[in-house]
Amino acid sequence: MTFDAARYTAQLQDKVTRLRDLLAPFDAPEPQVFDSPLQHFRLRAEFRLWREGGERHYAMFSQDDKRTPILIEDFPIASARINQLMPQLKAAWQASAALSHKLFQVEFLTTLAGDAMITLCYHRPLDEHWHAAANQLAADLNVSIIGRSKGKRDVIGHDYVVEKLDVGGRTFSYRQPEGAFTQPNGTVNQKMLNWAYDALGDRADDLLELYCGNGNFTLPLATRVRKVLATEISKTSVNAALSNLDENAVANVTLVRLSAEELTEALNEVRPFRRLQGIDLKSYEFGSVFVDPPRAGMDPDTCELTRRFDTILYISCNPETLAANIAQLHDTHRITRCALFDQFPWTHHMESGVLLTRR
């Protein structure tokens, strides 16, 4: 793969045009554009292993052909740390039967702060020989190691990495667990957080956050408001978010493990939820809502819920569903700010953000 700057610029402009066209019916302002490094931007990577010539190689498959492996030695779009670790890990499994026996997949997770974790997946139980070799590997590479084998997980070090991101003049620390969602492009994620922080502004009222994940946006946005009610359905992400709130001494957030759809039912008093016991929803003075939904966007009921708020801050990984949601809200809210974040360079995917305010 060649990393030609002119080709990147042309691809980025195509994304800008696509976003502009999708939001044109809503009189959106010109989007702010936040670009990406051309290489070493991806903080996580996953590889299958393929036996050829008597040894295992890192392998990937094209979307068009899932049977023919593409053998690789490095992965330039991945972080410099991943590229440093790839040959070191390969040399380790080549030298150790305990590490290589029935090893079929490898996953890397790294951070801008320099932390790293490697997950090794096996078609066999892990024994004391594996543990001895994996402990030595973790020490040699200065990483955490996770061993996975049919329903079991063995952790050497931590089952998370720690990221540090600068937002609004403050450094926030994030615990990112193995297997949980994290933004893949750390550099662009930091730009995205600063845009959202600036777009929300300082407020004297409360914020509702849906789909909060590990607290990626929750931490900095909480410093802009009186208090936050945040929801997330993934138990792993909820636990990470609670750790992150505690680690960063952010004390004005209440986090509940509910889906956006369930919280909508709770706020509409359709039915009570045990997980909301002790939380007085009527005590909140919500002036704004922040949403970062999955690719499908918000369901119609959740979208209708956001209409109640004067300010809607929306981060989207799918501009088509973003446009569909805005169409539902356009009669009461207008787009006052718009941004494109190039989380996924060299692909057609993009992340975007809009600030909607009541007409």
Q: Has 299 been labeled as part of a binding site?
A: no
Rounded Cα distance between 332 and 308, Å, is: 9
* Plot region of 175 (φ>0 → left; ψ -120 to 50 → alpha; else → beta): beta
Query: Is 232 marked as binding a ligand?
Result: yes
* Under 8 Å between Cβ of 343 and 188: yes
Residues 200-237 as b/e (b if ≥16 CB within 10 A, e otherwise) read: beeeeebbbbbbbbbbbbbbbbbbbbebbbbbbbbebb
Dihedral sign computed on CA atoms, order 147, 232, 111, 253: negative
Q: Are 103 and 47 in contact (CB under 8 A)?
A: no
Task: Tell me the two tokens of residue 245.
Answer: 């709130």
Q: 121, 212, 303, 317: which one is catalytic? A: 317
Does 211 show up as a binding residue in the annotation? yes
**183 known member of a binding site:** yes
Pairwise CA distance, residues 83 & 95, whole Å: 19
Could you tell me which residues come within 8 angstroms of residue 151 by beta carbon, excluding any fewer than 6 positions away?
A: none
Annotated active-site residue in 163, 178, 209, 351: 351
Active site residue 351: yes
Residue 291, beta-bridge partner list: 210, 314
Asked if residue 292 belongs to a known ligand binding site, the reply is yes
Handedness of CA 287, 291, 297, 302 (dihedral sign): negative
Query: Are 352 and 341 within 8 A, CB to CB?
Result: yes
249: left (phi over 0), alpha (psi -120 to 50) or beta: left
To which H or E segment does residue 91 belong?
helix 80-95
Task: Report helix, strand or coil for 169.
Answer: coil
- Beta strands, E only, the chain: 32-34, 44-52, 55-62, 65-72, 103-110, 116-122, 144-149, 152-156, 160-167, 170-177, 206-210, 228-231, 253-256, 286-291, 311-316, 333-341, 351-358
The two structure tokens encoding residue 341: 């974040």
Residues recognised as catalytic: 317, 351
Residue ranges for the known binding site for S-adenosyl-L-methionine are 183, 211, 216, 232, 292
